[in-house]
Structure 1
Amino acid sequence: MSSDERIYRLVFEYYEARILYGYYKYGENLPSISKICAVFHMAPATVRAGLSVLEKQGYIKIDARKASKVIYKSNPEMRRRSAAEYFVPRKKAIQDLLMSSELLFESCRVLELNQSNFGEWEKFRPSFEQNTDHTVPVTFQFCLMALRALDNSLILNLYWEVLRFLKFPYLAEDEMRNIRQENFEGKSKSECIVMLTGYFKDCFHKSVKRLFDFIDEAQREFELEQTETFSFQWNIYRQRPQFCYTLVCSVIRDIKNGIYTKGSFLPSLPKMAKYYKVSVSTVRRSLSILSSAGLTKSFQGKGTQVLPEAVQADIGRPEIQDGLRMYQESLQLLKLTIKNVLLRTLGCAPDTQKQKFAKRFSELVKAEKGYLCIEICLAFIEEECPLSGIKECYRKLRELTAWGYPFAVHRLKDEAYYEAFQKIMEHAAGHLGRDEISGFADCLEMLLQQEEKNIREIAVD
């Protein structure tokens, strides 16, 4: 699914949920296209595409001169059963994802609520000061405002994907009457944010309680105890084909980990296609990108060689720019979440696994292969974290951080950079060996922050 299709389906799924579960009833109007555009930060064409899917599915009737009208007929029993059939099978996954989301998004909100630009705040403020037609709940808008200030499409993508799975935040309605009673007039931005943050948490916890009360009742009412279970999957939106990017990341990781050694030739196109379970044309496009990344070179009639020494990447190529952007955004998400995630993972992992991890980390640092340490940290979290939502998120981040390897091998040739990098890694290994988890996490957070800064400079240049 392309990036554009995923984005307009957000509109479709948001309003589908609110129609199916009774927020919008037969004969009522959806908000105008301009209001939907303003809240979701989407172009009119994207919103129209989402509404068009709603019409094709029989939920609404579009009128070019008026707001779209709901034509889907349901009764309370139908709506209750629809909700039960969605939420009951996902109970455990929702519980897991809620705990995962606290680790993934809380630090993002805390940081960016203090940095969100004044123009964005001024657009948002009327939503809770005036008695207006709320296109989406204020708490929903509040969280979006905080995350948009990061200017990180990957984090926003993850947030949308989490909401698509949870669905129940789409359905909030009671808080609108309460929030308009708050008197924000004359208060500063920081004062309003403090009030709204507390309000957001209170509303969210109440919504969670209502949801699980409903699930427990619906399990008995509709006899759904033995239904199939589901798990959260993070689909990353890209402008270009997903398979091609995924294969590039896989081959880079295999080069970095020594599966394809420097100077060796990669397998033939058919063999790579079979091994990675993609088409030959996908392999061919991926090898072209790897060549532009400075890692390989193709020879007519001989095949594709892993270069003995990586050369400068072609930053002008759009695919390399996209990879660099995704790497930078991955670093930012890791920087914001790694400490809490590591504390949770290392706090729950068996001692034998922690010792094995610490030994491997120390060995890599001593062998001056510290550039592999982030990879094994992400792999350890993916294997040992007790939360499936974190495992899924860090699995994808592990894939995306492979894009940093072509740029890291050049920076490590700089003596000053290498010495600073190695010093941080040695400190990290020491903390980990002494089971000083917080100190270890601080070192990784520092390293990620510095790496993000370096990549940002490359992107600007």
Structure 2
Amino acid sequence: MASGNLLMKMIEYSKIINKRRGEGHLKNDSQFSKLIYEYFLIRFRFNYYKYGDILPTIDKLCQEFGVGAQTVKAALRRLRDEGYISMQSGQFTKVLFRQTKEELAAFIRLYYSGRRAAFSDLYKSSELVFVPMLTEGLRRMDEKDLAYLEQLSICADMDDLFHFYSYTLQKVENPLTINLFLEVSLFLGFPFGKMETDLLFYDNTIVSQRLQTLLAQVRAQDWDSVHQSLLSYQRSDVSLASTYLDQLARRFPAPEQTPFVWRVYRDRPQLCYSLAVRIMHEIYMGEYRETEFLPSYEKMAEKYDVSVSTMRRTVRVLNQAGVAESVNGIGTRIFTVGKRCNEPDFDCPAVRRNLALFAQSFEMIIYSCREASYSMFSSLSKEVLSDLIRQLEEYKNTGKYELSTWQVLICIAKYSPFKGVREIYSKVYGLFLWGYPLKGSFKETSRLDRISEQFNENLTEGLKRKDYCRCSAIVEDLFKKQFPVSEDYLQKCGLRPEELWLSHPICLF
């Protein structure tokens, strides 16, 4: 059986990244090996690979995954130690895992019934992000791209459908979106297994017709129809999936539910970077926004329940980002909103990576914020809406207009009616924070200040009138105006486009 057919086209993107950056492989990172392990594990459990199948050689897997040999070997050793494969030097890697049809059916039921609570919500949540970006990806297709998608539309099995969407998203060249697409796909599981037909709600004929209709609309450049078709297909799949899961729920006891978690920081010290984001939020929006210095390492370590050494590393990250400045014998000075801060350390690889994530998150916001903010605004309670308006008016009175932008992102992360959107935007907001020191280090900010001031006034007025359609358009317009300024500044500071849009640490495939 061919290895990872589903994976091939996603890997092509990684190869493009490596070629443009002059690197032969992605770094040998334990988190990448975990991704490879998870990919094969789910395919074993869904019976895509069966007992006796032969996996490709190490060299072939390195080539296909775009990683080093040690990364692949680490993933395969873990699968071997858990009894899924045999792996001996000089011999083929053979699948040892076997299960009966009854065991397969039981696993599928357990897998999906355990995700039942998140399934429909996650489909609707990812729709807000992926449908606009899929539409944009299709806009960028040339004739060669369309010819390839035509081939995928003919058979239209599950692998082909996944290839179709992943290939289209890759045209947008936003690794953060690809990362989210992978995480959602892994969680939902459907594209990663060839399951028995009586256990699955998938019709190749219908999917083939859908894809061919979509491609005809692309060739006609009927982008409104393309967008509506993508929405229609997504919502039809949600309806079918919900029916399937409801049947499972009626027949079998509901297991403990598994929530969706977007693991953006797979390749880095999770605690340190998560804590840095939390402290940045508190510097700009929370309890540190009126102070000049952070508490001592010891007090902060106690407050955040981490070691002093972790706290020191976290503060060093904040210093490198331009958020703070440690002064010997005095403490750690912080730069709150409105204060001129240090430039980020553009020579630091971690800072450059964070700024790439900031730029990618910014672009994701542009594509998704209109629908995400509209659904949030229209579902706010009277009390929360009044509080939001009061907060915006406070920012106007204090002249801290830029906080209005962040307040909208925070509200989406807190009050969106969709759990998946709250999860996605909580991570997007954290990534977005890394970019504020750019503005804080600008010598001339009057243009951005005027944009933020106008945004605050227009949004406040729209919320008072409860014109949520206009409010969401105002939010989208703001990010579209701000984005070119930030992108241009990053490039002037030496971050090349391939670093901003083709950075591979968060995009394995």
Same topology, TM > 0.5: yes
Please point out which of 404, 415, 419 is paired with 1:384: 415
In the other structure, the counterpart of 2:176 is 154
In the other structure, the counterpart of 1:285 is 313
Matches within 5 A, 1:14-413: 14-30=39-55, 42-43=66-67, 45=69, 46-47=71-72, 49-62=74-87, 68-116=93-141, 121=145, 124-125=148-149, 128=152, 137-171=159-193, 190-191=218-219, 211-221=241-251, 223-225=252-254, 227-237=255-265, 239-257=267-285, 259-261=287-289, 264-307=292-335, 309-411=340-442, 413=444
Compared CA separation, residues 350 and 145, structure 1 to 2 (3 A) = same
Shift of 1:410: 3.5
SS, match of residue 99 in structure 1: helix
Compared CA separation, residues 347 and 95, structure 1 to 2 (3 A) = same
Shift of 1:116: 4.7
Paired residues of 1:425 and 1:443 also in contact (CA < 8 A): no
Paired residues of 2:131 and 2:231 also in contact (CA < 8 A): no
- Could you tell me how far apart the structure 2 residues matched to 1:180 and 1:394 are? 33
- Could you tell me how far apart the structure 2 residues matched to 1:37 and 1:382 are? 38
Paired residues of 1:371 and 1:408 also in contact (CA < 8 A): no
SS, match of residue 267 in structure 1: coil
Paired residues of 1:265 and 1:305 also in contact (CA < 8 A): yes
* Partner deviation per Cα, 1:141-168 (whole Å, 9 max, x = no partner): 1111122222222211111111121112
In the other structure, the counterpart of 2:7 is none
- Could you tell me how far apart the structure 2 residues matched to 1:58 and 1:332 are? 43
SS, match of residue 311 in structure 1: coil
Compared CA separation, residues 378 and 200, structure 1 to 2 (3 A) = closer
SS, match of residue 50 in structure 2: coil
Any stretches of 5+ residues in structure 2 without a counterpart?
1-26, 196-201, 493-509
Shift of 1:244: 1.9
Paired residues of 2:410 and 2:429 also in contact (CA < 8 A): yes
Backbone CA RMSD of aligned residues? 3.8
Shift of 1:63: 7.1
SS, match of residue 295 in structure 2: coil
Shift of 1:61: 3.5
Using the TM superposition, name which of 22-31 and 59-68 deviates more.
59-68
* Partner deviation per Cα, 1:177-220 (whole Å, 9 max, x = no partner): 88789998xx9994499999999888867765665454344445
TM-score (norm 2): 0.77
The amino acid across from 1:289 in the alignment is: V
Paired residues of 1:139 and 1:200 also in contact (CA < 8 A): no
SS, match of residue 235 in structure 1: coil
Shift of 1:271: 0.9
* Partner deviation per Cα, 1:108-143 (whole Å, 9 max, x = no partner): 111122125777x389558538989x9x70110111
Using the TM superposition, name which of 200-209 and 323-332 deviates more.
200-209
The amino acid across from 1:285 in the alignment is: R
Paired residues of 2:323 and 2:437 also in contact (CA < 8 A): yes
In the other structure, the counterpart of 2:13 is none
Compared CA separation, residues 123 and 276, structure 1 to 2 (3 A) = farther
In the other structure, the counterpart of 1:451 is 482
Paired residues of 1:60 and 1:71 also in contact (CA < 8 A): yes
- Could you tell me how far apart the structure 2 residues matched to 1:229 and 1:274 are? 32
Shift of 1:337: 0.7
Shift of 1:240: 3.1
Paired residues of 1:343 and 1:441 also in contact (CA < 8 A): yes
- Could you tell me how far apart the structure 2 residues matched to 1:284 and 1:76 are? 53
The amino acid across from 2:191 in the alignment is: P
Using the TM superposition, name which of 59-68 and 274-283 deviates more.
59-68
Using the TM superposition, name which of 439-448 and 424-433 deviates more.
424-433
TM-score (norm 1): 0.84
Compared CA separation, residues 446 and 180, structure 1 to 2 (3 A) = closer
Any stretches of 5+ residues in structure 1 without a counterpart?
none
Compared CA separation, residues 41 and 90, structure 1 to 2 (3 A) = same
- Could you tell me how far apart the structure 1 residues matched to 2:286 and 2:180 are? 31
Compared CA separation, residues 183 and 155, structure 1 to 2 (3 A) = closer
Shift of 1:346: 1.6
- Could you tell me how far apart the structure 2 residues matched to 1:75 and 1:111 are? 44
The amino acid across from 1:12 in the alignment is: Y
Compared CA separation, residues 205 and 63, structure 1 to 2 (3 A) = farther
Paired residues of 1:11 and 1:50 also in contact (CA < 8 A): yes
Shift of 1:280: 1.5
SS, match of residue 466 in structure 2: coil
- Could you tell me how far apart the structure 2 residues matched to 1:116 and 1:9 are? 33
SS, match of residue 435 in structure 2: helix
Shift of 1:279: 2.1
If asked which structure has higher relative contact order (CA below 8 Å, sep 6+), I would say 2
Compared CA separation, residues 74 and 175, structure 1 to 2 (3 A) = same
The amino acid across from 1:215 in the alignment is: L
The amino acid across from 1:244 in the alignment is: C
SS, match of residue 434 in structure 2: helix
- Could you tell me how far apart the structure 1 residues matched to 2:484 and 2:191 are? 34
Paired residues of 2:325 and 2:332 also in contact (CA < 8 A): yes
